[in-house]
Amino acid sequence: MMREYYSITELTREFDVSTRTLRFYEDEGLVQPVRRGRTRLFRPSDRHLIRQIMRGKRLGFSINEIREIIQMYKEPPGEIGQLNLMIKRIEEKREDLRQKRRDLEETLAELDQAEESCVERLVELGVNT
Amino acid sequence: MMREYYSITELTREFDVSTRTLRFYEDEGLVQPVRRGRTRLFRPSDRHLIRQIMRGKRLGFSINEIREIIQMYKEPPGEIGQLNLMIKRIEEKREDLRQKRRDLEETLAELDQAEESCVERLVELGVNT
DNA sequence: CGCTCAATTGACTTTTACGTAAATGCCATG
DNA sequence: CATGGCATTTACGTAAAAGTCAATTGAGCG
């Protein structure tokens, strides 16, 4: 079932962030929950945005970078110049992500090696006792 | 040829960081260049460390996390308890990196989709004019 | 030796991404 | 109705990771 609204505390629990953080994202214009009186009602689309924000954070993107990425997920603009510009920006972000992927694979490889050294050392010690 | 020493400015150019940054990393104990008088002489091992630091930064790790990772690359400890602890830590970091990889792939997929939408829109506009 | 210019040091400042506290609102429940 | 329990707003605080600036220092060179 697709819920209509989520309360702020529901989402803080789901994503393990504080209310302060979600309000901060609202101030930053990353999400725009609707209001009933003064209380915020987050829609599924807001929830999805928060999911994307958390992903961006884990990848080490700043709020501004996340904002840019979120722009890219939105409806493409209607003007050709804008479209070409957006495609260029998207390509840049993808290159950025590919660099991160290379960094990630290299780091994983080095950690694999480090673990192997540890295991070898354990075997040595196990043999000698 | 394997250079013996690198000056601080050489490395700032190579890695596109400021001298302040490299000194900061030294203060943080991430690198320990030797000294001739007061000037720092960075050895190939320091250079390699800086490379690893930059990788960690691009992946969004904090200085403390980078410090931990660097510890893992070093010689494995001699004591069994320490070795097991280190293996556990390494496994945690790897899980962290695998999460980042999932985030990365998802983000790349969404960007692919976004670009496709843009291209489609371009085709529409191209057809209509 | 004196000059110059890069390098160092230390202090202070800045930016980012929230944390925290205080005062207050809203509302369901006993 | 008052009590508890979230919510909100406003304002100030803070830690991390450098940037910036000023005052020195030292090394090389003519």
pLDDT tens digits, one per residue of A92-128: 999 999 999 999 999 999 999 999 999 999 999 987 7
If you average pLDDT over residues B106-112, what whole number do you get?
A: 97
Chain B residues with CB under 8 Å of A121 CB are 76-78, 83
pLDDT at A67 over 70: yes
The band of B1, judged by pLDDT with boundaries at 50, 70 and 90, is: low
**Rounded to an integer, what distance in angstroms lies between the CA atom of residue B116 and that of residue B108?**
12
pLDDT of residue A104: 97
A56 touches chain B (CB under 8 A): yes
Strand duo B34-36 + B39-41: pairing: antiparallel
pLDDT averaged over chain A?
94
If you average pLDDT over residues B121-125, what whole number do you get?
A: 92
pLDDT at B57 over 70: yes
pLDDT tens digits, one per residue of B89-105: 999 999 999 999 999 99
Specify the residue for token string 């709020």.
A63
If you average pLDDT over residues B105-126, what whole number do you get?
A: 95
pLDDT at A84 over 70: yes
Identify the CA nearest to A74 among candidates A15, A5, A82. Answer: A82
pLDDT tens digits, one per residue of B28-55: 999 999 988 889 999 999 999 999 999 9
pLDDT of residue B2: 72
Rounded CA–C1' distance between B16 and D21, in angstroms: 21
- Looking across all nucleic acid strands, the nucleotide with the smallest C1' to CA distance from residue B22 is D18
Identify the CA nearest to B50 among candidates B74, B27, B70, B75. Answer: B70
pLDDT of residue B101: 98
pLDDT of residue B129: 64
- Looking across all nucleic acid strands, the nucleotide with the smallest C1' to CA distance from residue A17 is C18
pLDDT of residue B19: 94
Rounded CA–C1' distance between B22 and D23, in angstroms: 21
pLDDT at B85 over 80: yes
More confident residue, A39 or A129: A39
- Find and give the residue nearest to C7, measured CA to C1': B39
The band of A6, judged by pLDDT with boundaries at 50, 70 and 90, is: very high
Over pLDDT 90: what percentage of chain B?
87
**Rounded to an integer, what distance in angstroms lies between the CA atom of residue B53 and that of residue A15?**
29
**Partner B, chain A 87-116, Cβ-Cβ below 8 Å:** 87, 90-91, 93-94, 97-101, 103-104, 106-108, 110-112, 114-115
pTM: 0.92
Cβ-defined contacts of A23-27 (< 8 Å, 24+): A25/A50, A25/A53
If you average pLDDT over residues A15-23, what whole number do you get?
A: 96
Nearest CB neighbour to A83, from listed B99, B111, B122: B122
pLDDT of residue A129: 63
